[in-house]
Structure 1
Amino acid sequence: MERGKKWVALIALSILFAASMPAWARSSRPARGREDLALPSASSLPVRRTRISLTANLSVPTRQTDRWGATSDLGWFLADPEQLSAASALLMDADTGAILFARHHMERRSPASTTKIMTALLILEEGRLDEKVVITERAAAVTGTGLGLRRGQQITLRDLLWAILIKSANDAALAAAEHIGGSEEGFVSRMNAKAGSLGMEGTHFTNPHGLDNPDHYSTAYDLAILARQALRNPTFARMVQTREAHLAILTGRNGKVVKRMVIRTHNQLLGQFAGADGVKTGYTEQAGRCLVASATRGDHRLITVLLNDSRRWAEAAALLEYGFAALGGRAPSLGVSDGGSTDTPRGEGG
């Protein structure tokens, strides 16, 4: 009898103890640590994303990273800049236009999809972004990276611009060019006129997307001039620092069916290199890997251009890191190397 009373007392005490325990301790799920009890931080709260025709999630880098060895491996660049694998390279102070470093920067080379910087600039200067563009058979047939657009579909010029800058879509570039220029040829004529007005003496365009063509070329110096001009446009500057965008394509009879699509940037510096805020990647088999990149820290914005560079991310990070150090008086001046500027250009084509 006494033994039974003891069991009853033990059960009662167990019930009282369990009731007094906090909810996290009673959970049947494995404990993950006391930090689970803290209020969620702002970064962990769900982000509301509105449709982009729209809106985009901007990249706001908050810290430096060594992902490409930008800091720890800067020594190799300072010791011997000729170790750069880029066929052409340039680093420019975007505020003053001063060249902080350059190598073969006047050589004519294939710019690949960095061409789309010019395409985007003309769209912003001459187009109405809310207009709907009807996709032609010619635009739908463009090869390479694209949205998979089909003849008769409709999409706003704004969404085409997002696709051009974020996804590097060739079909979007041609569709926008036809819409603004009346034809691809008409738009390309405007591209070359704009290049002339900007002093891009080593540049000639044959298309709005950058696919290979022997008469389609530019220089690292010219592309830096172009990027510097384009970044002065607030809409362009906002778009090229965006990592993700939502598009809407109108299909079906009378364009009443909406096909939604999410696109993501090819620019690996965004969100990974402190201050990175643009600009455009490019690649074709003939051009190699190309990059026009920008970054801003404090009052300084830098632009770097790398053409035909198999190590474009690491070398862009090193050049930008060097530039900020040089502007702060913490790195020596490396000057300009323009040797070989009369060499036959490699990688002719977009």
Structure 2
Amino acid sequence: MWKKLLAWILITVILIGNGIQVVEAFEQSGNVQMEKIMGEPDQNSLYARSAVLMDADSGRILYEKNGHQAMANASTTKILTCIIALENCELDSEVTVSALAASQPKVHLGMREGQRFYLKDLLYGLMLESYNDCAVAIAEHIAGTTADFAAMMNDKAKEIGCEDSYFITPNGLDAKDEDGFHHTTAADLSLIMRYCIKGSKMAGQFLTITQEGQYQFHDMDGKNSYTCYNHNAFLQMMDGALSGKTGFTGNAGYCYIGALQRDDRTFIVALLACGWPNNKTYKWADAKKLMQYGITMFKKIKLDEIELNTKESAAVEVKGGQSKKIGGEVRTELEISPIEGLTALLIGNEQEIQVKYEVTPKLYAPVMNGDFAGEITYLLGDEILAKRTVTVKETVKKIDFCWCIKKAAELFPL
């Protein structure tokens, strides 16, 4: 009897102890998950050597790890190749394959010298399968030579606002010349993707191509058919995934550039040197971590919807101005200019936009319509986001001898 009782007591203690361990493990797991969502990612927790999370609407960087470090970027280069081709040539134009294009290493379509394709079909091969021969064929078709196309790439990068990028090849294969090595930065690559999905007049076509899951085509002679599959697995990993491009070379490692839209917010993630062979999935882990951080921790603010303090921009007194009667006070209404450039941006959930008013309390006649009267500045911490000019709305003339005679005659008519 005592043995049975002791056995039941022992079993109960073991079960309770295990139960407590299970609960503790669950709570610890929950805490870790909350830290990932609620806090800024620790740079050491990212596999990528260089990373950027960007607000696609404003172009502001929300998070970075070595975001301005020049690094090889492999086939993520092809987003720039694609958008330049879309902007400079018709999709139904005929591309003839050169010996150089046909000689490109894997991954490749396997095109042969003399084959003819429609540009549209090669763009799908470029963006879905990342074919290197498609990139060279496209570049030569657009610019004549890959060198001339590289010049177009570098010009476009500067136009977009890139600060430290240098492109030599249209496919992103490692290369160097007397001016440097083929590279970009995570910050610049994010700007290029921002242009591709928002800034370019061909953004819609770019998205159509990069969102396609599977595409079939044949050469213009109809002798060879091809099927392309989209290797951007991120499109199925998170709701709202918009576009993206993978890349890999021995020098660059695994790279990724991707965009995601959630509600009225659009995020871009750029990852460079995100592991080497046997670590192919690192880029997906980093991309999801940074996207989730953006979704959870940032809200959208529209500057033109922030209510202004009307007292700060009320009508101001004009000293020495002509009034309706001698000795009367003269005031003029003010106008506030619309916000130019940045009107909406993402800020941290706990952050607030500050509005700074620097408007003159009084003016001295004469004042003319449009005269400067001050400015209103929108600040996020010490960062100036936008400014609005405050100007005089009504002209006020200065008191002069003629006005005095006129008003005196009104007071003492003959």
Is 1:242 the counterpart of 2:212? The answer is: yes
Which residue number corresponds to residue 171 of structure 2? 209
Q: How does 1:292-307 map to 2 (within 5 A)?
A: 292-307=257-272
With over 3 angstroms needed to count, the CA separation of the structure-2 counterparts of 1:259 and 1:89, relative to structure 1, is same
Which residue number corresponds to residue 101 of structure 2? 139
Mark the runs of 5 or more structure 2 residues left unpaired by the alignment.
1-31, 276-281, 300-346, 352-414
Measured against aligned partners, the alpha-carbon deviations of 1:5-40 in whole angstroms (never above 9, x if no partner) come to xxxxxxxxxxxxxxxxxxxxxxxxxxxxxxxxxxxx
Mark the runs of 5 or more structure 1 residues left unpaired by the alignment.
1-71, 334-350
What's the CA shift for 1:126? Answer: 0.4
Q: TM-score scaled by structure 1?
A: 0.70
Partner Cα distance (1:153, 1:274) in 2: 40
Measured against aligned partners, the alpha-carbon deviations of 1:209-250 in whole angstroms (never above 9, x if no partner) come to 000113101000000000000112110022112221112223
Partner Cα distance (1:325, 1:82) in 2: 20
Is 1:227 the counterpart of 2:193? The answer is: yes
With over 3 angstroms needed to count, the CA separation of the structure-2 counterparts of 1:326 and 1:155, relative to structure 1, is same
**Higher RCO, 1 or 2 (CA under 8 Å, sep at least 6)?**
1
After the TM superposition, which segments of 4 or more aligned residues of structure 1 sit over 6 Å from their partners? 329-333
Partner Cα distance (1:144, 1:331) in 2: 46
Partner Cα distance (1:258, 1:130) in 2: 18
What's the CA shift for 1:73? Answer: 4.9
Partner Cα distance (1:133, 1:320) in 2: 38
Sequence identity of aligned pairs in percent?
A: 35
Partner Cα distance (1:308, 1:272) in 2: 21
Cα-Cα RMSD: 2.2
With over 3 angstroms needed to count, the CA separation of the structure-2 counterparts of 1:132 and 1:327, relative to structure 1, is same
Q: Secondary structure at the match of 1:306?
A: strand
1:184–1:208 Cα contact (<8 Å) kept: yes
Q: How does 1:67-106 map to 2 (within 5 A)?
A: 73=33, 75-76=35-36, 78=39, 80-106=42-68
What's the CA shift for 1:82? Answer: 2.6
Q: How does 1:95-174 map to 2 (within 5 A)?
A: 95-174=57-136
With over 3 angstroms needed to count, the CA separation of the structure-2 counterparts of 1:74 and 1:98, relative to structure 1, is farther
Q: Secondary structure at the match of 1:231?
A: helix
Q: Looking at secondary structure, tell me which structure has more strand per residue.
A: 2
With over 3 angstroms needed to count, the CA separation of the structure-2 counterparts of 1:75 and 1:148, relative to structure 1, is farther
Partner Cα distance (2:224, 2:35) in 1: 49
Partner Cα distance (1:127, 1:223) in 2: 23
Corresponding pairs, count: 260
- Rg larger for: 2
Instruction: Identify the match of residue 252 of structure 2 among 268, 283, 287.
Output: 287
Which residue number corresponds to residue 186 of structure 1? 148
Measured against aligned partners, the alpha-carbon deviations of 1:170-189 in whole angstroms (never above 9, x if no partner) come to 00000000001011111111
Partner Cα distance (1:123, 1:115) in 2: 13
Instruction: Identify the match of residue 326 of structure 1 among 277, 281, 297.
Output: 297
What's the CA shift for 1:80? Answer: 2.6
